[in-house]
């Protein structure tokens, strides 16, 4: 039930994101007095709609996106002579650029607002502590079993459990090396030889306790395994700190989004690999995969703050990715139409310098094969990703 709740919340958040994207185009077009005839969420058969003024609003059967129909988007569109002055193609270049970029802008604004809500309202997870949050039951038999947190066909009781480590213990040192953060702690553990006993000193109920632990190993996983997980503490940020967090996280997610697009070609061979989560394909997913991960986040028994925080970060990442991807200079994406408008204005400026008339609109008929090719490529990538997410889903590491 929790898993289904996470999926439903994600789908609703995605539909809201789509509506905001189209609202960006719609509101700016209306602001510049362009004629907008349709505002729809989804594609295909119309489920229901209503007309207000000159615009028809509605929902279609396939919730795979949405669209706003603005009169005269290109030179190919047939427009009633009476509506030509209000057509998109007759407006100044700067207005057309704003309308085209407004969809991605709304994704970015939504992401920033949600980042602020996360920082101020929910709190930021601080996992950089050496306090043990959980001691695992066993040594997973494989990397895949580690991803699933499964003890089926395990390699025995976990070293931490055997040694008597407990939830709430604060690790002070490992094999004589002091540790002050979970990152440092993990690095020290991985460097220890598997099968060789070492001393772990913890602070328990105000007392120092020394325990002898023998690290284990997991096939095809680099470094030794102890069987402990850290504790997560949520701390609310001040408005100023929240702004700093929102800005830095936005930049980080944007950078990762660009990196994910660059990894697509190399990720394809690993989409159906057993250890997908530990390859380049582990950072690439479709909407189906994102919904599955959202469901896993809610289903994980780690508290409501973790669930809400995870859901928000998934929705935030998705909006930043969609906003950035949509600005790529490829037709039929908004970025492709932006590139066309910018090309038209640069060409007109060069013509003026030479004392020649404005060449006018780009002949879109020449770009139709390119647009169809890009669309087919995007659909193909999407279908492959969806198939991978159905038959070889990514599992959250716990």
Cβ count near 38 (within 10 Å):
17
Kind and range of the H or E run holding 213? strand 207-213
b (16+ CB within 10 A) / e for 277-316: bbbbbbebbbbbbbbbbbbbbbbbebeeebbbbbbbbbbb
- Tell me the CA distances in angstroms from 38 to 54, 89, 372, 388, one per residue in order: 8, 17, 23, 35
Helix axes 334-353, 93-117, angle to 10 degrees: 140
* Active centre residues (catalytic): 22
Beta-bridge mates of residue 216: 225
Tell me the two tokens of residue 306. 């973790």
Contact in structure between 163 and 345 (CB atoms under 8 Å):
no
Residue 322 CA to residue 382 CA, distance in Å, equals 13
Beta-bridge mates of residue 210: 201
DSSP tag of 223: S
Name residue, tokens 């994101």.
17
């Amino acid at each position: 039930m929790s898993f289904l709740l996470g999926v439903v919340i994600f789908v609703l958040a995605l539909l809201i994101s789509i509506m905001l994207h189209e609202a960006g185009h719609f509101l700016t077009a209306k602001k510049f007095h362009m004629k907008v005839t349709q505002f729809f969420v989804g594609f295909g058969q119309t489920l229901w709609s209503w007309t207000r003024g000159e615009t028809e609003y509605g929902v279609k059967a396939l919730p795979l996106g949405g669209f706003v129909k603005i009169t005269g988007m290109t030179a190919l569109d047939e427009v009633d002579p009476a509506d030509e002055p209000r057509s998109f193609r007759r407006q100044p270049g700067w207005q057309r650029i704003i309308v085209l970029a407004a969809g991605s802008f709304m994704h970015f604004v939504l992401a920033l607002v949600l980042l602020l809500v996360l920082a101020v309202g929910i709190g930021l997870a601080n996992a950089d502590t050496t306090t043990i949050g959980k001691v695992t039951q066993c040594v997973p038999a494989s990397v895949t079993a580690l991803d699933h947190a499964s003890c089926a066909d395990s390699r025995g009781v976990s070293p931490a459990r055997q040694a008597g480590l407990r939830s709430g213990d604060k690790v002070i040192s490992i094999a004589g090396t002091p540790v002050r953060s979970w990152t440092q702690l993990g690095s020290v553990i991985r460097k220890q030889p598997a099968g060789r006993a070492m001393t772990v000193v913890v602070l328990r109920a105000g007392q120092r306790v020394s325990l002898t632990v023998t690290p284990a190993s997991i096939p095809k996983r680099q470094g030794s395994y102890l069987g402990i997980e850290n504790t997560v503490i949520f701390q609310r940020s001040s408005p100023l700190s929240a702004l700093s967090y929102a800005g830095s996280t936005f930049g980080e997610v944007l950078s990762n989004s660009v990196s994910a697009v660059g990894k697509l070609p190399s990720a394809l061979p690993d989409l159906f690999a057993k250890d997908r989560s530990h390859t380049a394909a582990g950072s690439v997913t479709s909407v189906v995969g994102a919904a599955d991960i959202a469901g896993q986040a809610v289903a994980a028994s780690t508290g409501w703050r973790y669930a809400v925080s995870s859901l928000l970060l998934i929705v935030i990442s998705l909006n930043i990715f969609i906003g950035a991807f949509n600005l790529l200079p490829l037709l039929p994406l908004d970025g492709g139409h932006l590139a066309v408008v910018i090309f038209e204005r640069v060409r007109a400026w060069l013509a003026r310098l030479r004392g020649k008339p404005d060449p006018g609109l780009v002949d879109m008929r020449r770009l139709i094969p390119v647009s169809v090719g890009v669309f087919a490529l995007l659909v193909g990538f999407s279908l492959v990703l969806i198939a991978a997410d159905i038959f070889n889903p990514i599992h959250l590491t716990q």
